[in-house]
């Protein structure tokens, strides 16, 4: 078992990890945007949008759930997933 102080710190770290994920998601969306003289074709861009959205949504959900579980553990509350 980890100490409550460490659990609280890790909870903050997992919540803070969401911000770089959102920044990377925005970067990937802007890179895959179709343009008149550059970029991807619209069909491929749509596939990329869906793939990036599913991937980053899953990663963010995992980070938020770990953060909430660690915060509850730091408070001494027993939470089952």
Q: Report residues of the chain scoring pLDDT below 50.
A: none
Q: What is the pTM of this model?
A: 0.83
Q: What is the pLDDT of residues 7-19, one digit of tens each?
A: 999 999 999 999 9
- The CA–CA distances, whole Å, from 49 to 1, 61, 68 equal 40, 18, 28
8 burial (CB, 10 Å; 0-12 / 13-18 / 19+) is: middle
* Structural domain boundaries in the chain: 4-75
């Amino acid at each position: 078992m980890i100490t409550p102080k460490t659990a609280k710190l890790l909870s903050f770290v997992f919540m803070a990890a969401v911000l770089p994920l959102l920044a990377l998601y925005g970067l990937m969306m802007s890179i895959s945007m179709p343009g008149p003289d550059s970029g991807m074709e619209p069909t491929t861009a749509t596939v990329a949008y869906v793939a990036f959205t599913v991937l980053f949504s899953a990663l963010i959900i995992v980070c938020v759930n770990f953060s909430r579980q660690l915060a509850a553990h730091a408070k001494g509350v027993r939470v089952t997933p």
